[in-house]
Structure 1
Amino acid sequence: YEFGSASISKTLERYQHCCYNAQDSNNALSETQSWYQEMSKMRAKFEALQRTQRHLLGEDLGPLSVKELQQLEKQLECALSQARQRKTQIMIEQVEELRRKERQLGEINKQLKHKLEAEGCSNYRAMQTSWAPDAVVGDGATFHVQPPHSTAMDCEPTPA
């Protein structure tokens, strides 16, 4: 086309422009359809998740069959078991932490006793008598010292 007239060059340019635009238009249409299909899949998945959530909350159970209800019951029992296990684990960790703190405070108490004994025997004995059960405070009020509690964990429920 290099030996052709200027109008032939323009015609070829218009032809190429139309061909490429048609391909771009087809690609855009294909991409739009793909996004629409993806959106439809996501919407269906969202609705299924909402339905499952309602079932797990005990709502909208009417259309479920006996088999589906049994499966739902099994899922709920499994979830409840996992929640109980996690709760027990947290409680055990808390008990261990409290025992650690108890040991730490016991050590601090021993150190303070030794320090008091070292500073002066008379001050320590006066404090020790004030710590005795049924000790009388300076204003005549009596207070009772609680005996130390056992650290054993009682897991059995007490009868009501």
Structure 2
Amino acid sequence: MKKLFLLALLLLASLQLQAGTVYKSVGPDGRPIYSDQEPPKKVRVQVLSFEDAPATPLPPELQRYRDELQKRSSQVVKVDDSKQAVLFSAQWCGYCRKAKAYLASKGIAYKEYDIDTEDGMRAMVSVGGGKGVPVLLWKGQRQGGFSPEGYDAFFARAR
């Protein structure tokens, strides 16, 4: 019952947030089509809300380190997400492993930053940090956390 209530609440909330809406429909060849434009009324549509997905929170010591690096912003790293996706992850993060498996299964090239390294954390700070991992960037878009549906919508929207 709780899940049904939450689903209904999310659907109502997603109607309010039109800027983050992605429509999924099936083309004549049976392949999924993702678009930010509503398809014709005769087509069966699944609406995907483009929001942050579940993420593994940063441990307190990494949060302190991130905050310290933000104060010393002259030492940040330049991150370029214009040519390929950029993934911020950690070895201890289960959602990060799922995100990497997803990217590999779709054949999506990406540059990975391990936030447990100094350069990785500096790079994450340079793009605005985050309170959890994974964080995926591509073409100026950002997706926090991981879910297959969220990544499908993210790449459909960023194309």
Question: Which band: TM-score by shorter chain?
Answer: under 0.3
Choose between structure 1 and 2: higher strand proportion. 2
What is the TM-score of this pair, normalised by structure 2?
A: 0.17
State the TM-score, normalized to the length of structure 1.
Answer: 0.17
Larger C-alpha radius of gyration, 1 or 2? 1
Q: Which has the higher contact order (CA 8 A, sep 6+)?
A: 2
